[in-house]
Structure 1
Amino acid sequence: ARVRRFLNADSAVAVPFLAEPKIDGLGASLRYEHGELKVGATRGDGFTGEDVTNNLRTIKAIPNRLRTDHPPAVIEVRGEVYMTHSDFLTLNERMAADGRPEFANPRNAAAGSLRQLNPAITAERPLHFMAYTWGEIIGDLPAHTQSGVVAAFQDWGFPVQTLMEAVEGAAGLIAYYRKLAAMRAQLGYDIDGVVYKVDRLEQQARLGYVTRAPRWAIAHKFPAEQAQTELLDIEIQVGRTGALTPVARLRPVTVGGVVVSNATLHNEDEIARKDIRVGDTVIVQRAGDVIPQVVRVLTELRQDGAKPYEFPGECPVCKSAAVRGINPTTGEPDAKHRCTGGLFCPAQAAERIKHFVSRDAFDIVGFGAKHVEAFLADGLIAHPSDIFRLEERFAGGDRALALREGWGEASARKLFDSINARRTIDLERYIFALGILHVGEATAKLLARHYQSADEFENAMRAAAQGDAPALNHLEAVDGIGPVVAAAIAEFFREPHNLEEVKRLRAVINVTKAAQRKTATPVAGKTVVFTGTLEKMSRSEAKARAESL
């Protein structure tokens, strides 16, 4: 009615509307001049944003050149940078493995990734982009409707919203809103509402703007998805790096069309802050987060005798000590308790072995996640060193191996060849493969270059773990290490089970010495950034080639 009033249009005049999901990400503007991407910025406050051109160029969904022979002289394409649920979970697993703080939700992850000072970091993050409107334009638009221009964006190489629909009247808008609300949990990315727009550009121009907001578009937000239920128990889950995460077991309740029976409680401090106790009646929410969370406790419904939760001081699986270290980024106590069982803890086995065989570690081709999980389930492997004894077991007539479905001589030979090809490995990959807290690829490289050989590294780490002051000081003094990372490494080598596995591993592999770093080359000390599609090699291969120069 308001739109018709501004247009001075009676019921006989058609006012076509569009409805589309409102993606919960970070707005970005892309300025193209004669079809070439020149400037990319965050939307900021609508007037001023951050220049993140180089970072935006690393997003595969954003074309550096428009796919058209007749682009406008200037056009500012606007859209949303976001992260899917699956990519968000994978990124947080990686962050936790490297000892870095995890992102709270996909929107924060997308924003933090796009605003990195180093474009190479942005390039490693799984960011997506979807174009939905435009700003400045010099030249002719490719259509006379909003939907027509968006269709042209798709022709030019941009992903666009496939769920956008033409609707009629208020009833059509509300029907679309209800339909999207019902399906939002299955989309695979976060949306926080619906946007309604007048489709005809001529009618948009007549409606104009009020302050900064257009009269021809409006957002219809979803209410927070919450439900009340009972917290039945608190269980502790153990991740690859030994992080202990408390999980609330809930009486099943439907939240936003999804049955929720578990919710993350994050850590000990979060439980204490919200005073969460077993048996409490709680409010659960799924607004803006992939994993359901306990928002608050209805303390007025708490039963007499409910006791504050005591966080365990040991791993519930292997019974090794669980400790809170120091976060290397903030210098504050880590929010997470971590199991010190390392390579020994069965709860960490699957993810640790997947990490061990991964591309940046031992890179055992054909030994994927399914092999790891199946071999663990069959009792064929329990530790990384067991991988290098599989061929010996098969040759000895191991029934568990011989009877595996589809497991013949040829398939076995292929896998064993892949394993044997990696029995010799360079020091930095070996250190990274151990899965030590806070020791990612870059840190492993620093340690390898400093200690040069596996024997030197392990002897020094054992000494540091036993409290040898010179050894610990020497480790802390390594460029890029520092006391927090040094303490985590010492903790790893202090655990007897880890030492036993390192000994078993060294008995079946050969670790080569680290190559001396070249310092007198034209590219020494420079930052190299790879953008766009690499046709001749993978990004990992290109990175290795650049580092060898």
Structure 2
Amino acid sequence: MIKSEASKKIQKLRKDLERHNYLYYIEAKPEISDRDYDHLMRELLDLEQAFPDLVTPDSPSRRVGGAPLEKFRTVEHQVPMLSLDNTYSREELEEFATRVQKGLGRGSFSYFVEEKIDGVSIALVYEDGLLKLGATRGDGRYGDDITENIKTLGSIPLRIPIPGSSFQGPVPELLEVRGEAYISKDQFAKINQEKEKNSEEFFANPRNACAGSLKLLDPKLVAARRLDALIHGLARYEGENPPHSQSEAMAFLKDLGFKVIPDAKKCRDMHGVFGRVDAIEKKRAKLQYEIDGVVVKVDQFEDQKTLGMTSKSPRWMIAYKYPAEQVETVLEDIKIQVGRTGVLTPVAILKPVQLSGTTVSRASLHNQNEIERLDARIGDHVLIEKSGEIIPQVISVNLEKREGNLPKFVFPQKCPDCGEAVGKRGDVVVIGLFPNVKSPVAICCLNPLCPAQLKGALKHFAGREAMDIENLGVSIIDQLVEKGMVKDLADLYYLKITDVEALERMGEKSANNLMEGIEQSKKRPLPN
């Protein structure tokens, strides 16, 4: 195929692929199967490989991920990404309305109410329709340039308007939008299922999984996570016919092909706002993404400008957060876990119950003092709460349902893992593998050679936030410790390929991959 023919074919493939992306991610009305889509993408990738000078930054081929990065570039936000004022009180929401009335000097104005997505804040900058920058919030004034990772999100346009969208008219010369990247509940479950197969530590929740994914330096790994995004704000606009309100802006962005928050509406007064707050809460558990409340904004941009902002947050916007979801179940057992610092943590084993759309069978009891404060006993009916924490919490005991004289829980006097003595440490140095860690009101294993501490230390050491040792999962760590092959962190670097191959379910290829992961960790830079 000659170059001119290839150019025409590439342009058609790009247009078709972006149109199918729009139908799949934005309209939820796919016209072709995943297999047919993959065939089109493969055809485009082959042509771009044969004619590399025809590759462009907005090609759909960028969605499969480019070459790994060495590090992220720091960028300055031209419009700061400020935080939101939060409230859990309807009275404080009324007070917000009163402040707005005083600030505007009138009582008649409109609000815009939308779901508060529990994700990761992102900023997207387009120049002449082309995506030029995708950035994290960072500290609000400076964030990381994650453009290559952002390009892997199928719902984010690489060029606007997207083929198939309803937009008519000139594209703004400069457009900056704000939104939330997230991982759907179904995709989150699939990611953790994959981690379980690989004996890797689970992600705590979809937000953590999304944040961790966007920090990856290899866009191909990000693409595999299948992140999504919803757009909720317009930060900068340079061009003809700019929107004059939040409601106009969202309609405009939707026409361009952006995936905006679906159940967002304009309200004439606080009565309408409270109606939306109640309606969204009722359907919260059925959504495919996590939300933790609603965001209420003054609709007109001119009014927003009049109200201004404090050093931390806009005066024209507030987040109303829903109360933490609670449910009652039975405390069937209390297990003691030994952490990497030696701290013994009690975990409630519960009769499985639905909470926030997931099945919960474990919850935190924090420490011995908390068990005593709650007077929690095995067999009790307990109230558990989930409010964005890593693990649900036991918050109270229903004493009226206590049957008979249930025995009090006795905290162990010996470590359940190594059998050595334990001791109380309250805001003092904890001895063990991490000798400088302080732990208030904690019972700790006093054995610095405790296998459980070593396993926890190795898991932390191998994690992405530390040495990032690929292929060193939980089951491998357990075997290395239990077989006496690793007695401290340094022993990892003395392992031989023959040692690793002797482990259960460890073939030659897997052993080589692990040894390569350990070798690569030697090159990790030290934190600043």
What TM-score, normalized to structure 1? 0.52
2 CA distance for matches of 1:38 and 1:29? 11
Structure 1 segment 4-23 matched on structure 2, within 5 A: 4-10=101-107, 13=108, 15-23=109-117
- The offset of 1:299, in angstroms, is 11
Structure 1 segment 101-500 matched on structure 2, within 5 A: 101-140=201-240, 142-233=242-333, 248-250=349-351, 262-265=360-363, 278-288=378-388, 293-296=392-395, 298=397, 304-307=406-409, 326=455, 329-331=459-461, 437=475, 483=495, 490-492=502-504
Structure 1 segment 40-119 matched on structure 2, within 5 A: 40-67=134-161, 70-119=170-219
2 CA distance for matches of 1:211 and 1:95? 41
Query: How many residues were matched structurally?
Result: 344
- The offset of 1:62, in angstroms, is 1.1
The answer to whether residue 124 in structure 2 is matched with residue 25 in structure 1 is no
Distance 1:7 1:64, change over 3 A: same
Aligned to 1:2: 99
2:297 aligned counterpart, secondary structure: strand
Q: Does the Cα contact within 8 Å between 2:123 and 2:176 map onto a contact in 1?
A: yes
Distance 1:484 1:163, change over 3 A: farther
- Deviation per CA, 1:386-413: give whole Å up to 9, x if none: xxxxxxxxxxxxxxxxxxxxxxxxxxxx
- The offset of 1:95, in angstroms, is 1.9
Q: Does the Cα contact within 8 Å between 1:232 and 1:278 map onto a contact in 2?
A: yes
Q: Bigger CA drift: 58-67 or 224-233?
A: 224-233
2 CA distance for matches of 1:233 and 1:126? 37
- The offset of 1:35, in angstroms, is 1.0
2 CA distance for matches of 1:153 and 1:306? 59
- The offset of 1:131, in angstroms, is 0.6
- The offset of 1:437, in angstroms, is 4.5
Structure 2 spans left out of the alignment, 5+ residues: 1-97, 162-166, 336-346, 418-450, 464-470, 510-519, 521-528
The letter for the 1-side match of 2:99 is R
- The offset of 1:107, in angstroms, is 0.9
- Deviation per CA, 1:280-332: give whole Å up to 9, x if none: 4533113236x97243565999955244599999xxxxxxxxx9794665358
2 CA distance for matches of 1:210 and 1:136? 19
2 CA distance for matches of 1:485 and 1:30? 46
The letter for the 2-side match of 1:116 is L
2:124 aligned counterpart, secondary structure: strand
Distance 1:331 1:28, change over 3 A: closer
2 CA distance for matches of 1:332 and 1:145? 49
2:204 aligned counterpart, secondary structure: coil
1 CA distance for matches of 2:218 and 2:380? 46
1 CA distance for matches of 2:462 and 2:504? 20
2 CA distance for matches of 1:163 and 1:2? 26
Q: Does the Cα contact within 8 Å between 1:274 and 1:297 map onto a contact in 2?
A: no
Distance 1:485 1:296, change over 3 A: farther
Q: Does the Cα contact within 8 Å between 1:24 and 1:190 map onto a contact in 2?
A: yes
Q: Does the Cα contact within 8 Å between 2:363 and 2:391 map onto a contact in 1?
A: no
Distance 1:90 1:483, change over 3 A: farther
1 CA distance for matches of 2:499 and 2:393? 33
- Deviation per CA, 1:162-196: give whole Å up to 9, x if none: 11012221111112112222221111221111111
Distance 1:270 1:17, change over 3 A: closer
Distance 1:5 1:299, change over 3 A: closer
The letter for the 2-side match of 1:250 is K
What TM-score, normalized to structure 2? 0.54
Q: Does the Cα contact within 8 Å between 1:263 and 1:293 map onto a contact in 2?
A: no
- Deviation per CA, 1:316-362: give whole Å up to 9, x if none: xxxxxxx97946653589xxxxxxxxxxxxxxxxxxxxxxxxxxxxx
- Deviation per CA, 1:78-120: give whole Å up to 9, x if none: 1001111121121112123223221111111111111112222
Q: CA RMSD in A?
A: 4.7
Q: Does the Cα contact within 8 Å between 1:264 and 1:293 map onto a contact in 2?
A: yes
Structure 1 spans left out of the alignment, 5+ residues: 236-245, 314-322, 334-431, 440-460, 503-510, 513-524, 526-549
Q: Does the Cα contact within 8 Å between 1:100 and 1:438 map onto a contact in 2?
A: no
2:383 aligned counterpart, secondary structure: strand
The letter for the 1-side match of 2:331 is L
1 CA distance for matches of 2:241 and 2:232? 14
1 CA distance for matches of 2:237 and 2:359? 50
- Deviation per CA, 1:258-286: give whole Å up to 9, x if none: 7x9842248xx979897575224533113
Distance 1:438 1:144, change over 3 A: farther
Aligned to 1:540: none
2 CA distance for matches of 1:438 and 1:329? 10
1 CA distance for matches of 2:386 and 2:500? 34
1:210 aligned counterpart, secondary structure: coil
2:142 aligned counterpart, secondary structure: coil
Q: Does the Cα contact within 8 Å between 1:100 and 1:329 map onto a contact in 2?
A: no
2:196 aligned counterpart, secondary structure: helix
